[in-house]
Structure 1
Amino acid sequence: MAKTIESHQNKIYKYIKSLSQKKNRDKEGLFLAEGVRFVSEIPPNWEVEMFVITKAFTMENDIRNFDKRAETYIVTEELFLPLSDTENPQGVLAVCKKQREGQEEIWKRDAPFFLLAEALNDPGNLGTVIRTADASGVDGIFLSKGSVDVYNPKVLRATMGSIFHVPVFQNVDLKEITLKMKEKNISLYAAHLKGDCYPYQLPLEKGCAFLIGNEARGLSHEATNLCDRWVRIPMPGKAESLNASIAAGVLMYEVVRQRLK
C-alpha cells in the first residue's frame, strides 16, 4: 500500500532529493527516471527501488501497478517540485538501479555495432546519441573519461527512455576498448573532418564501431591514432562541421542502410 510523505524533513524524501547530485547517484548506484513516458519505458526486469507520485497523479491514474512493483510514496505537488528537473512536472518519478549489464554479452554478438565517444560534454547531445543508437540497433556505447554523466537528468530526458534499451559504459579506457575490438576483428572508424573516405565507402556489414569526439575540440590525436581509418561526412554546404549528435546519427544510419540491403 502506498505511503504518504508530508515533510521536506522526511528521511526518505531527503534520500530521493540527494540523488539529484552525481556523487550520491554514484554512491547509491541509483538514478531518477521522471515523467509518464519515461517511467512507462522501464522494462519489467529492471530494478526499481521506489516510485514517487503526487496526489493529483493518483486522482487521474491507476497506481496499483506501481504499488505492486516497488515501494510507492505519495507527496504533494509542493514536495514533488524540488525532486523534479522539469518546468512542468507530470507528478511521477521512479528511483531506479543503474545498469548492471557487463560487457561480456555484447562482445559475443555477430557483427556487433558499437559507438565510442571521447569527452562528450553536452547532456542533450549525449541523450540524443543514446536515443538514436537505440533506434539504429547499436549494441553498446562506450564513453571515455571526461564525458557527461549518462545519469544526468538532462541526458536521461533526451534519451526518451532509450537508456533502458542500450548498454552504456562510462569512464572507459579507449585504448583498452580498441585493443578488444582488434581481437574481435571489429573495425574502428574515427569521425574526422580530415577523413580520407565517406561512410558509404566503408564495409559496415561486418563488425564495426565509430568514434566521435568532443563538441568543441573534436577527437584528440591519441584517440584518432587508435582507429583503423578516418571517415568524413560529405558537407557540400558552407557549414564547417556538424553537431556531434547529428554526425553520430548520420554514421549510425549508414550502418543501418548497408545492413538492410
Structure 2
Amino acid sequence: MPAADLITSPQNPRIKNLLRLQQKPAERRAQDLTIIEGHRELTIAHQAGVAVQALFVCPELAGETKMRELESRFGQLTEWFSVSRAVFEKVAYREGSDGVLALARPPRRTLTDLELPRNPLLLVLEAVEKPGNLGAILRTADAAQADAVIICDPRTDLYNPNAIRSSIGCIFTVPTVATTRAELLEWCAQRGIRTYAAALTDHARPYTEFDFRGPTAFVMGTEADGLTPELMHACDQTIIIPMGGYIDSLNVSTATAILTFEAVRQRS
C-alpha cells in the first residue's frame, strides 16, 4: 500500500537511486533493475510476468481511479512510495507523465532459452544504438507476433527506459535476446533458419521475390552504417525494398515493418 509519508525531496536516497538508474546503464546492470514509466507500460509488463520490485506514484498525477487500480494489482508489494509532483517530474523520463513509475527486474534470455515453433519468424538487429528504433521494431514484432527479436552486438542497453517507453512495454511481450554475430549465425544454421540481409547491394533482389513461409530471420543494420560486411555476406540472401523516389533507403523500423508484414501476409 502507499506509504503514509510523501517523498518531497529530490535528495531522498531512493530518488537519487532512481536518477542513477535512469542515467547509467552500468547501474542498471549492477542492480539488475530497470525503470518502467507509465501505467500502460507497467500493465503490459505485469501481464507479461515481469517482476515488479517497487512503485513510485504521484497521487496528484495518477488520480484516484488509477491509484485504486494500482493498489488492487500491486497492493502486496513490499515497497510502495508516494512522491510529490515536483519530485516525480524530476525523475520522470518524459514530459506529461501519468504519475506512475516502477522498478522491475528485466528478463534475461539467451538464444537457448527461445522456444520456437516449426516455422519461426525472427527479427535480427545488428549493433542497434537508438532506443527509439529498437522500441518501434519491438512494437512491430508484437503486432506481427514475431517469435523473437535478436540483437547482435548491441550498442544500447536493451532495457533502456527510453526503449521501454518507445516500445510501449512490448520489450516484455516479445522474447528479446542479445548475442554475438557468430553465435547468431551458428544458431540459425543449426535450426535451418534462412537469413535475409536487408542491404543495398548490386546483387540484392526485391523482397517480393522470396518465400518467407519457412523459418525466416530478417537481418537489419543501423541507419548510419547498414550491416557489417561480415554479417551481410554470411546471410543466405540479400534483399531490398525497391525505392521509386530520390532517396535509396527507409528508416530501419519502417523497413523492418514492411518485411515483417510481408512474411505475415504470406503465412496467412
TM-score between both structures, scaled by the size of structure 2: 0.90
Segment of structure 1 superposing worse, 225-234 or 93-102: 93-102
In 2, Cα distance between the equivalents of 1:40 and 1:108?
26
The structure 2 residue matched to 1:177, chosen from 184, 191, 203, is 184
Q: Indicate conservation of the 8 Å contact 1:106/1:112, yes or no.
A: no
> What are the residue-to-residue correspondences of 1:107-122 with 2, within 5 Å?
107-122=115-130
The answer as to 2:52 corresponding to 1:48 is yes
Q: Indicate conservation of the 8 Å contact 1:51/1:72, yes or no.
A: yes
Shift of 1:154: 2.1
Equivalent position of 1:233 in the other structure: 241
In 1, Cα distance between the equivalents of 2:73 and 2:157?
27
Q: Indicate conservation of the 8 Å contact 2:34/2:105, yes or no.
A: yes
Q: Indicate conservation of the 8 Å contact 1:127/1:157, yes or no.
A: yes
In 2, Cα distance between the equivalents of 1:76 and 1:258?
52
Percent of aligned pairs with the same amino acid: 30
Segment of structure 1 superposing worse, 159-168 or 137-146: 137-146
In 2, Cα distance between the equivalents of 1:240 and 1:158?
26
In 1, Cα distance between the equivalents of 2:145 and 2:74?
33
Instruction: Count the aligned residue pairs.
Output: 259
Aligned to 1:245, the other structure's residue is in SS state helix
Unaligned stretches of 5+ in structure 2? Answer: none
In 1, Cα distance between the equivalents of 2:195 and 2:74?
46
Equivalent position of 2:34 in the other structure: 31
> What are the residue-to-residue correspondences of 1:124-203 with 2, within 5 Å?
124-170=132-178, 172-194=179-201, 195-203=203-211
Shift of 1:55: 2.5
Q: What are the superposed Cα offsets for residues 93-150 of structure 1, whole Å, 9 maximum, x if unpaired?
A: 1111111344334254211111111122222111101110111111111112243222
TM-score between both structures, scaled by the size of structure 1: 0.92
Q: Indicate conservation of the 8 Å contact 2:8/2:86, yes or no.
A: no
Amino acid in the other structure paired with 1:2: P
> What are the residue-to-residue correspondences of 1:63-142 with 2, within 5 Å?
63-70=70-77, 71-142=79-150
Aligned to 1:73, the other structure's residue is in SS state strand
Aligned to 2:225, the other structure's residue is in SS state coil
Q: Indicate conservation of the 8 Å contact 2:152/2:184, yes or no.
A: no
Q: What are the superposed Cα offsets for residues 215-239 of structure 1, whole Å, 9 maximum, x if unpaired?
A: 1111111111110010111112222
Shift of 1:69: 4.3
Amino acid in the other structure paired with 1:182: A
Amino acid in the other structure paired with 1:249: A
Aligned to 1:42, the other structure's residue is in SS state helix
In 1, Cα distance between the equivalents of 2:74 and 2:186?
46
List 4+ stretches of structure 1 deviating above 4 A. none
Q: Indicate conservation of the 8 Å contact 2:36/2:103, yes or no.
A: yes
In 2, Cα distance between the equivalents of 1:107 and 1:85?
33
Shift of 1:58: 4.8
Going from structure 1 to structure 2, the CA distance change for 1:69 and 1:136 (only over 3 Å counts) comes to farther
Task: Tell me how large the CA RMSD over aligned residues is.
Answer: 1.7
Shift of 1:160: 1.2
Shift of 1:207: 0.5
Amino acid in the other structure paired with 2:186: L
In 2, Cα distance between the equivalents of 1:67 and 1:228?
47
In 2, Cα distance between the equivalents of 1:150 and 1:236?
34
Aligned to 2:205, the other structure's residue is in SS state coil
Unaligned stretches of 5+ in structure 1? Answer: none
Amino acid in the other structure paired with 1:95: L
Shift of 1:249: 0.7
Equivalent position of 1:221 in the other structure: 229
